[in-house]
Amino acid sequence: MLNKFCFDSCEFVAASAMLAATSSIIILLLGPIKASEKFLCPTECGNVSIIYPFGIGKGCYFDKGYEVICDNSSGSPKAFLPSIKTELLDSYSDTTIRVNIPVIFLHNRIATRNHMAREVNLSGSAFTFPWRLNKFTAIGCDNYAIDLGNDSTISGGCLSVCTCDPTQKSGCYDFLCSIPPISKVLNANLSYFYSQSILQNCRSVSLVQGDWLDSSYLSNPQVLKERDQVPAMLEWGEKIGTCIEEYSSNPTSCNLNQECLMQLSSGYVCLCDSLVDGRYCPGRLICNTSNGYNCSGCPHGYSSNRYGSCQPILEIFFHKSRVKYIVIGCSGGLVLLFLLIGIWWLYKFVKRKRQIKLKQKFFKRNGGLILQQELSVSEGNIEKTKLFTSNDLEKATDNYNTNRILGQGGQGTVYKGMLTNGRIVAVKKSKLVDESNVEQFINEV
């Protein structure tokens, strides 16, 4: 009973260890994913993607100029940039954002929105109006609009030439427009180019995102006449080529101390902490040409990734190490599993050897050697005598059922037994006697 308890306990311990090994593999694979989820800043406000250096909440944006407020008061979340008092429509990883800006000048004869002139001023911010992404438009007929800029000097203009009936809904918008390559202030003045006598229902001036204007206005011209605000593109950085090119061609912009470069898309963007050769750069970042990149402009606990946004340091670590963790976890788990299998087979081998030794011990103690000696001497009895195990005899006698007792002698009890082949035999079971009587019992058999 003691031996059986030991074997069962060992089997339970081995099985538990194998289960623990399997569980450890699962923990190794799943652990890093859970750890990275705890440090993420909000990445969306409604349908607007928020990409660093922009962020929602303290510690998630580069500085106050890039703070985003997600307003849910209207029931539909809207993102706002309080630094320039503008609604944010989207942010991109190529240093541009899309915002809603007011129509600069609006004169509507039908509606009550007459002679509204509003200045759009980005001075003091990191943002500019990129000319390549926007169009300066004058809606109506025979209109001449000029962009006065921040010092009241003409920096751009637009001429609206009549190529259609201005009284119709479609109206016209001009292709003869220009704005300066980099502009921070839009302040327009609208006048008649030919004659004020031309009847018009609506005249307006605005800076509009080029792609939106081409797709929305041309398909539905009325849409621009009815809006107080229009989408426009702003830029907060400037591509200046690769690290090596910048070092060799313009060392004052990015010196050998590895300042001001950060990869955002196909090129690099100047991100110093002050004006460098006329380029406005909102924050210091570091570019390492030999080992990739390392940005110090991210908030505490974050680091820049190759897409130009900041990620939690643990998330980047686990992302880079995920394959390594999977390989280590699987390899370690397999090694542990094979080790446990080896221990299991070693345990089975030792158990079998122990059982064989116990059988030999009991066989010798119960007179097995004497019986073999007697059988070898009595050649005539060899064919009639066969050695059986105790299990065979218990099965043949129905566990020594008292109903099978044939008689009792001085050294034991005789039972009627039946072998597996149907043969009827007599089985004599010894009584509890001293080992000195074993030979006498064998002779009696």
The answer to whether 143 and 190 are in contact (CB under 8 A) is yes
In this predicted structure, what is the pLDDT of residue 77?
Answer: 93
Last-in-domain residue among 235, 267, 286: 235
Based on the domain organization, do 222 and 125 belong to the same domain?
yes
Same domain, 292 and 270: yes
User: Which H or E run contains 442?
Assistant: helix 438-444
**363 located within any domain:** no
pLDDT at residue 93, rounded to an integer: 67
pLDDT reported for residue 177: 52
**So what's the pLDDT on residue 292?**
37
| DSSP-assigned letter for residue 162 | -
Domain count, the chain: 3
The list of the chain residues with pLDDT below 50 reads 1-39, 108-115, 146-157, 159-176, 192-201, 238-297, 306-308
Are 123 and 248 contained in the same domain? no
Same domain, 101 and 226: yes
Is 67 a domain residue? no
pLDDT at residue 429, as a whole number = 81
* Whether residue 250 sits in one domain with residue 160: no
Q: Does one domain contain both 230 and 244?
A: no
How far apart CA 182 and CA 126 sit, in angstroms, is: 12
In the numeric block, the tokens 């043949």 are attached to 396
Same structural domain, 230 and 270: no
For residues 284 and 397, state if they share a domain.
no
pLDDT of residue 375: 63
Domain boundary residue, one of 308, 323, 350 = 308
Predicted pLDDT at 129: 82
Domain presence at residue 334: no
Rg (CA), the chain: 46
What is the three-class DSSP state of 158? strand
Q: For position 11, what pLDDT does the model report?
A: 42
pLDDT of residue 212: 85
Rounded to whole angstroms, the Cα distance separating 260 from 267 reads 13
The answer to whether residue 365 sits within a structural domain is no
Per the structure, the complete domain to which residue 129 belongs is given by: 96-235
3-state SS class at 363: helix
203 and 241 assigned to the same domain: no
Q: What is the pLDDT of residues 88-122, one digit of tens each?
A: 999 886 678 999 988 776 554 444 444 455 677 78
Q: Do 260 and 218 belong to one domain?
A: no
